[in-house]
Structure 1
Amino acid sequence: MFTGIVTALGTIREAHQSGDLRAVIACPFDPATIAIGASIACSGVCLTVVERGGVAGDAWFAVSISGESVARTVPGRWDVGTRLNLEPALKLGDELGGHIVTGHVDGVGTVAEVTPVGESKRFVIAAPHDLAPYIAAKGSITVDGVSLTVNEVIDQADGVCHFTLNIIPHTAEVTTIGALVAGDRVNLEIDVLARYLQRMQSLRS
């Protein structure tokens, strides 16, 4: 489990297909704190560490990415040179600073608009129609592994859902969100509570 609070940025250093896709991710962690078999969320995708090395501040870890994960996430997300939002899994006693995040991507959204608002940025993101029922104003959503609060939801005639986010300068600086522009695609994970509430409602109907 994760909280959607990004602790570091990583960069894909190597990626090659050997059954599953194997990627090596450079990061500023201390390799002594990365356990083999540990889970790390990489731009919202929960991946298992299979190898690690380097030194503190200049480390790396390797992961195997299944075909299902590749298909579910943003095309090109696992290319060499891509920057990733990183978050190690929660430990007992850790602060739950964001919201409960599983690291299982539900769909891919598209940045429709980015507008400066004071020192912050207002993002409009288009989510696919099958995720629309799970997105609510003032609810939580995970965008590329970052826990964010939905400001507004605008349902479109074609079933697509547009939702707005306010990205403060700190979030823009310490995550990949700040570099996004209109047309970019992002991994989306809906709030796990919304998932169960929607399921309960469907059964009642």
Structure 2
Amino acid sequence: MFTGIIETLGEVIELRNEGSNLHLTVKSTISPELKIDQSVAHNGVCLTVVSTKNNTYTVTAIEETLQKTNLEHLAVGDFVNLERAMILGSRLDGHIVQGHVDQTGVCTSVEEKEGSWFFTFEYRTDLNNHTIEKGSITIDGTSLTVVDSGKNTFSVAIIPYTYEHTRFNTYKIGTVVNLEFDVIGKYVAKLMAVR
């Protein structure tokens, strides 16, 4: 489980394909603290540390993960949002995030508004995911509040701190992002569909 509060950025320093798997080696400030078998969210995708070395560590993404996320678009030198699993008993500053990406979305608008930014994203509706105004959404692992919600679109407001310390400062129209919809909302939607 995660909170959606990004700890740091990590730089992708190596990508290696093995069969249908992709091994990502990442350099970050938290690398020396990681141990094999720990869970780390990469752009909101929960992956297991399989090896560590100096200031780097390696995780593996399987084919299903690559098909549902933006990890397949990564290149050496790209940065990813990183968050280690939450510690039970700590404050939950974001919202409950599983690290299980539901689908990707595409940035359709970036608007600067006197020191903050409004980003609009569009997503496929055939997967039955929904947003609601003032509800929670996770974008590339970042816990955010939905400002406006439409049938297949939503917007979020980004404060300067988040803009500077996450991948949001690299987003432009057409950027593909990972989306994890609110877990409570998903259960409610499922129960309503059963009724």
* CA RMSD, Structure 1 to Structure 2 (Å): 1.3
Match of residue 118 from structure 2? 122
How far does residue 53 in structure 1 lie from its aligned partner after superposition? Answer: 2.1
Instruction: Select which of 102, 105, 121 maps to 1:106.
Output: 102
Structure 1 SS opposite 2:6: coil
Decide whether the 8 Å contact of 1:15 with 1:22 is kept in 2: yes
CA shift for structure 1 position 194: 0.7
Task: Classify the secondary structure of the residue corresponding to 1:99.
Answer: coil
In the other structure, the counterpart of 2:26 is: 25
Specify whether residues 131 and 172 from structure 1 end up closer, same or farther in structure 2 by C-alpha distance, changes over 3 A only: farther
Select 1:186's aligned residue among 167, 170, 177.
177
Q: Could you tell me whether the CA contact under 8 Å between 2:36 and 2:51 is conserved in 1?
A: yes
Pair 1:176-2:167 in alignment:
yes
| Partners of 2:141 and 2:112 in 1: CA distance | 22
Matched residues in 2 for 1:49 and 1:75: separation? Answer: 16
The aligned counterpart of 2:188 is 197
Aligned residues: 194
Aligned CA distance change for structure 1 residues 36 and 180 (closer, same or farther; 3 Å): same
Q: Deviations over 1:70-104 (max 9, x none)?
A: 11112643322221000000112222110000111
Confirm or deny: 8 A CA contact 2:41 2:99 kept in the other structure.
yes
Normalization by structure 2: what TM-score? Answer: 0.95
Q: 3-state DSSP class of the match of 1:178? A: helix
SS of equivalent to 1:79: coil
Question: In 1, are the aligned partners of 2:129 and 2:181 still within 8 Å (CA)?
Answer: no
Is 2:3–2:143's contact at 8 Å kept on the other side of the alignment? yes
2:3 matches 1:3: yes
What displacement does 1:30 show? 5.1
Find the residue that maps to 1:105 and give its secondary structure: coil
Moved more, 139-148 or 18-27: 18-27
CA offset at residue 8 of structure 1?
0.5
The one-letter code matched in structure 1 to 2:166 is: T
User: Which whole-Å CA distance do the structure 1 matches of 2:31 and 2:100 have between them?
Assistant: 25
In structure 2, list runs of 5 or more residues that go unmatched: none
Distance 2:26 2:71 in 1: 18
Aligned to 1:60: 56
Shift of residue 154, structure 1, vs aligned partner: 2.2
Contact 1:4/1:142 (8 A) holds in 2: yes
Alignment of 1:125-136 (within 5 A): 125-130=121-126, 133-136=129-132
Per-residue CA deviations over 1:84-132 (Å, capped at 9, x if unaligned) read 0000001122221100001111111010001111100111111211356
Q: Percent identity?
A: 38
State the 4+ residue runs in structure 1 displaced beyond 6 angstroms. Answer: none
TM-score normalized by structure 1? Answer: 0.90
